[in-house]
Chain A
Amino acid sequence: MQCPKCRGNMRTYERNGVHIEQCDGCRGIFLDYGELETLSRMESAYHATPPPPAPGPAWGAPQHHGGHGGHYGHKRQRSWVNQLFST
Chain B
Amino acid sequence: MVVLRRGEVVVKAHSLRDDVEALRPRLRATASAALAGIMLAPLEPEVLSVAGRAVTVWPAGRPIRQDETDSAPWEEGARLLARLHAVPLTLLPALPPAGGPARAARAVRRMTGDGPVEQLVRRAFAELPAPERLPALATHGDWHLGQLVRRDRWLLIDVDDLGVGDPAWDLARPAAWYAAGLLEPAVWDRFLGAYQASGGPALGAGQDPWQRLDLPARALTVQLAAVAVVNAARESRELDEVEHSLVESCNRIVRA
Contact = CB atoms under 8 A, between A and B. Distances in A.
B242 A56 contact: no
Contact of B210 (A56, A71, A77, A87): A56
B249 A59 contact: yes
Size bracket of the A interface: 20 to 34
A79 B66 CA distance: 11
A72 B213 CA distance: 22
Interface string A44-87: 00000000011111111111100001111011010111011111
A73 to B, nearest CB: 10
Contact of B208 (A54, A59, A74, A80): A54
B162 to A, nearest CB: 14
A61 B249 contact: yes
B95 interface: no
A72 B180 CA distance: 11
Contacts of B182: 70-72, 75, 80, 83
Interface string B213-230: 110011000001000000
B58 interface: no
A72 B185 CA distance: 10
B181 A59 contact: no
Contacts of A57: 179, 210, 213-214, 217-218, 256
B241 to A, nearest CB: 6
B157 to A, nearest CB: 12
Interface string A12-54: 0000000000000000000000000000000000000000011
A61 B245 contact: yes
B17 interface: no
B181 A69 contact: yes
Contact of B179 (A59, A79, A86): A59
A83 B241 CA distance: 12
Nearest to B142: A87
Given A59-B255, A71-B182, A83 B213 contact: no
Contacts of A80: 182, 242
B197 to A, nearest CB: 16
A38 B255 CA distance: 40
B129 to A, nearest CB: 12
B200 to A, nearest CB: 18
B208 A71 contact: no
A71 B244 CA distance: 11
Contacts of B213: 57
Interface of A: 53-64, 69-72, 74-75, 77, 79-81, 83-87
Which 9 A-B pairs rank lowest in CB-CB distance, beginning with the nearest? A61-B181, A85-B146, A59-B256, A59-B252, A70-B181, A79-B242, A60-B179, A84-B145, A59-B253
